[in-house]
A and B are shown apart, each in its own frame.
Chain A
Amino acid sequence: MEQFVMTFPAACRLAEAHPPRLCGVVSSGNLEVLVESGDPGDACRIEVSTPATGFRDIWAAVLRDFVERQPVGGLRITINDAGATPAVVSLRLDQAMDTFRSEKS
């Protein structure tokens, strides 16, 4: 079990408030992603907990690419991983962001 936080600077801020959104499930090979508004407004803070140790550089690459695709600050993302492959992590993050943006509070 490994837990860490990565923070990435992001150019644009969230324009409006959104309710938190949860995407995915914690089952083998999958993961749960929770997206919430949060501080600071110019950064995306991602907290990861994963059963697999020793893959932090790959997480960094996956998350960096995600923030590049979705450069949104004022975000707090919590990832509860159950051994998902990087491809699943990327897809789930994109899906979570889509549902997060589509619902205004």
Chain B
Amino acid sequence: MNAPSTPPASWDGQKRNQQARIERGAALAKGREVAGADIVRLLEAVIEPGDRVCIEGNNQKQADFLARSLVRTDPALVRDLHLVQSVLALPEHVDLIEQGQVRRIDFSFSGPQAGRLANLVEQGRIEIGAIHTYLELFGRYFIDLTPKVALIAAQAADREGNLYTGPNTEDTPAIVEATAFRNGIVIAQVNEVVDRLPRVDIPADWVDFFVKAPTPHYIEPLFTRDPAQITEIQILMAMIAIKGLYAEYGITRLNHGIGFDTAAIELLLPTYAAELGLKGKICTNWALNPHPTLIPAIEAGFVHSVHCFGSEVGMERYIAARPDVFFVGRDGSLRSNRAFSQAAGHYACDLFIGSTLQIDLEGNSSTATKGRIAGFGGAPNMGSDARGRRHPSPAWLRAGREASPNAAMPRGRKLVAQIVESSREHMQPAFVERLDAWELAETAGMELPPVMIYAEDVTHVITEEGSAHLLRCTTPEEREQAIRGVAGYTQVGLGRDRRMVENLRDRGIVRYPQDLGIDKRLATRDLLAARNIKDLVHASGGLYNPPVHFRNW
């Protein structure tokens, strides 16, 4: 006989727990507003041992005051935490772990703290749940990793607690939506408290407490690339990308990764691409942060729309003056949204192109290096075939035909290109037989090597030597030789089968600049639409206001 199933003792235990936390916090607040001096006590009052806590921050905006305050809490009260957040970028995030207040972390990206994190993992002082992509982590916020307490950052609050997140809205909506509607506590740090907000990005009803931070939240100008540092090799690779990939497929909808390689492409649109007659035919619609290096292309009329993951320091006035291009509110300022832009990049773009650190013989691509647990950010979402996609476009259909010319069921395919100089400084090869990711996985006890983009998703590899059109390869051997054929003077490149590579060249799988009708001698800095930051300011009509350390005039 089956035992009768027992219903839970109550259906609102979490709700009542949320109420109790809010009451404990309210004792330290005036309405929803908490004084800066009381924030540590407030955190101690509302956080319980074992809580899942999200400290908002991405590679741009950081809830840095709340992070610093959390580090100052009593480890006897605030302990056993499970951090579930996009990045571990601030020293304070890792300080919390070192103080023994954190038991486990689930995250996406750790950039500057990658070395310290790897150390703590090796010493067994922290469990890593998993390293996610942004969308994947946001997805889990709504399934099994919902934050109990979210510490977020906003530009301003009004007296009631409505929030203006402004140009750097970034991850806030996704975090707050999950936390506020699942019995959690939302605490915001704001740069200022005002009577009337320019617009409401997060309604007060979803916010439990807010505190005015003593200093504005930190924002990293992560996507600013000074054109003065772009090399002729990067210009040559950009020419290969534009002529051999963008023009060939007629790519209008795309995402660019971060770095000088793709910045060079952006700066060649109004010059090289325009000379090739490609204006209006390529690069019209973007999922992209507001890269300053895109200004000349926007001004030349190349770009129809840009949806942004976040903002970029100094671009605010320029964006506000180009509302036909960017997504701006009725107040005139940008509204970014990482979750939506990641979804857009995954499903609505035909091309992702980005740099990497290592590519193996199959085409797996990784930025993991020994001793650093750096994570992925958004690249795997952008740089993977969207198998749930159903809407056609000429580029997508063509890539699909090339991938499976004889398939009984026709399908489309996303183009995913890795662009990299075959050797970096000090002769560090970008092409390797075995990714460092394997060794990192072993030392850190990870179940999978942290691969950023899997070989099966990579369709093109572009180096200074040429372009490898991996989609057209029919066997693994061809694929390996196509990669070796553009791997320059690395051991992988020197180990090529020259006859096979010549055969691949004849079939248009490996293509060198001369095969594409590119004159390498034209790869000079004269091709750049802007040669330094000052040129970008000029191109923007004085609207772009670069951070001080990018000004050298």
Contact = CB atoms under 8 A, between A and B. Distances in A.
B436 to A, nearest CB: 20
Interface string A37-81: 000000000000000100100100110000000000000000000
B488 A87 contact: yes
B520 A85 contact: no
A52 B427 CA distance: 9
Interface stretch (B19-27, B61-69, B230-238): B230-238
B56 interface: no
Interface residues of A, number: 15
Interface stretch (B246-254, B296-304, B416-424): B416-424
A83 interface: yes
Nearest to B236: A91
B523 interface: yes
Contacts of A88: 231-233
Contact of B488 (A83, A86, A95, A98): A86
Nearest to A55: B427
B521 A86 contact: no
A55 B464 CA distance: 20
A85 B424 contact: yes
B520 A58 contact: no
B12 interface: no
Contacts of A19: none
A94 interface: yes
Contacts of B421: 85, 87
Contacts of A58: 427, 489, 494
Q: Is the interface of A mostly helix, strand, loop or mixed?
A: helix
Contacts of B523: 91
A61 B427 CA distance: 14
Interface residues of B, number: 20
A85 B521 contact: no
A81 to B, nearest CB: 12
B391 interface: no
A94 B423 contact: no
B465 A85 contact: no
Nearest to A54: B427
Residue of A58, A62, A83, A94 with most partner-chain B CB within 10 A: A58
A95 B523 CA distance: 10
A20 B488 CA distance: 29
A85 B429 CA distance: 10
Contacts of B465: 87
Contacts of B494: 58, 61
B422 A86 contact: yes
Interface in A5-54: 29, 52
A30 to B, nearest CB: 9
Contacts of A61: 489, 494
Nearest to B424: A85
Contacts of A94: 520-521
Interface string B408-450: 0000000000000111111100000000000000000000000
Contacts of B520: 91, 94
Given A83-B425, A85-B425, A85-B427, A91 B489 contact: no
B426 A83 contact: yes
B423 A87 contact: yes
A68 B187 CA distance: 67
A83 B424 CA distance: 10
B396 to A, nearest CB: 32
A91 B427 contact: no
A24 B465 CA distance: 20
Given A61-B489, A62-B489, A87 B427 contact: no
Q: What 10 A-B pairs come out closest when comparing CB atoms?
A: A86-B489, A87-B464, A85-B423, A87-B233, A58-B489, A61-B489, A98-B521, A62-B489, A86-B488, A87-B421
15 contacts: A52-B426, A58-B489, A58-B494, A61-B489, A61-B494, A62-B489, A85-B233, A85-B423, A86-B423, A87-B422, A87-B488, A88-B231, A91-B520, A95-B521, A98-B521
Given A55-B427, A87-B421, A87-B464, 4 more contacts: A83-B425, A87-B423, A87-B488, A98-B521
